[in-house]
Amino acid sequence: MTAKKRIVLSSDHAAIELRQAIAKHIEEQGYEAVDIGPTTPDSVHYPSMGEAAAQKIASGDCDLGIILCGTGQGIMMAANKVKGIRCGVCNETFSAKMIRAHNDAQILSMGARVVGQGLALEIVDAFLSTEFEGGRHGLRVDMIKAMED
């Protein structure tokens, strides 16, 4: 039996409800949700939450991540500052598939003020069910990685 994939989830205060719905959804599919909060509606800083999720992946503690803020943009920018992390904002399923298949993104970012819960769950499913294709895309991902050195 293979181990469950560990998926880190994080958000700012604007996306708590959607993050919790996503955590429940992925656990029902057999993933292990590692929800690092926040748990109260008190204001938190999305850069800290994006970095914390990205560090869980960079350290090898988690396999993939899903992060959320109002638009998905700010938290994505913070996550991408962590060495080795590739994160993209997706508001529809095609991009969610492509960031995995072509860019080997480890983190999906979404905006709780941009997508509703039904679409968000479809985007999550597209992201989690897609594998990196490698090949010519591997060369391009290697070029991105080289920019970090």
**Catalytic site positions:** 69, 102
Alpha helices in the chain (DSSP H): 16-28, 46-58, 73-79, 93-101, 117-128, 136-146
User: What residues contact 71, with CB distance under 8 A and at least 6 apart?
Assistant: 89, 111, 113, 114
Helix (H, G, I), strand (E, B) or coil at 71: coil
- Residue 115's closest CA among 98, 131, 96? 96
